[in-house]
Amino acid sequence: MLLIARELTAVTCASQPPSEDELLAIRHTLAQRVRAHLEREAVLVLAPLNTSPDPTHQALARAYSEGLLTLRLAGSAHYARWSIPAALADMPRYRHSARALLLAHAERIAWEEAEVLPAVAAMLLRRAAA
Give the closest residue to 80 by CA, choosing from 94, 96, 70: 94
In angstroms, the CA 5 to CA 97 distance is 13
Q: In tens digits, what is the pLDDT along the chain, a chain of 130 residues? A: 666 667 777 777 777 888 999 889 988 888 888 889 889 998 999 999 999 999 999 999 999 999 999 999 999 999 999 999 999 999 999 989 988 988 898 899 899 999 999 999 999 999 999 8
Res 29: pLDDT = 87
Instruction: State the number of CA atoms in the 13 A half-sphere of 62 facing the CB.
Output: 5
| Amino acid letter, residue 60 | L
- Residue 7 CA, distance from chain mean position: 15
Q: Residues 13-30, buried b or exposed e (16+ Cβ, 10 A)?
A: eeeebbeeeebeebbeeb
Res 4: pLDDT = 65
| Amino acid letter, residue 40 | R
